[in-house]
Amino acid sequence: MNVLVTGANGFIGKNLIIHLNELEIHGLVYTRENSIQDLSDLIKKSDFIVHLAGENRPIDEKYFDTVNAGLTASICGSVRSVGRKIPILLASSIQATFDNAYGKSKLNAEMVVKKFGGDTGNLIYIYRLPGVFGKWCKPNYNSVVATFCHNISHNLPIRVSNPSFELNLVYIDDVVEEFVRIIQGRQDNKKELSIQPEYKIKLGDLATQIKLFRKGQDSLISERVGDGLVRKLYSTYVS
């Protein structure tokens, strides 16, 4: 089975590719270094597409839609030209409901694949992801968990502007496990597409917890991490 992963050099992409390889599923990679022609050639070889590529911090806001919706349209066009149905899993964002340039571009991407699926009968899976955290997540980019873990572990300052702000988080291993379930065809049609478990934690509590991990390094007495969110935060901190 050949699974095309766009954005394969990104945080989720790296984790997904490694897990696919462990399952002896061949991962085809598409990154920023590839061309649109490369994309078309890769799609011809693909049995499934996981579309992770997107723009988070462009120089100009117009590139949000150019990349997030435009690349999605190119994928759908290439699948159409191949002449066979290739399931597409789109990683969208909970910000698709927000009235900002990024959110609108993710919503447009969703609309593109929904229309394509409706017109052709091609299987479409859309996941609106909250904050994803875990190993290999880039600090000082788009993950407050990664930023706090990096800065606190290196004795660098962190900024907590609103301690009571509640974060919605999912762990990378849970994301990958869910995506693999879909790739392998283990989809329960009655089940809503979402990553579970989803965690909620206040920004101030997150900072406090990660500081306790740092304190444990000095005292040589580790925190009780349990088997839920704290354990996954600790794994991220150690990484």
Give the catalytic positions in this structure: 102
- Residue in this structure with the two tokens 């704290």, named with its chain if needed: 230
Burial of 199-221, coded b for 16+ CB within 10 Å and e otherwise, reads bebebeebbebbebbeeeeeeee
- Three-state SS string over 23-46 comes to CCCEEEEECCCCCHHHHHHHHHCC
Residue 145 near residue 169, CB atoms below 8 Å: yes
Q: What token pair was written down for 32? A: 């920023």
- Cis upstream peptide for 87 (omega within 30°): no
Beta-bridge partner residues of 4:
28, 49
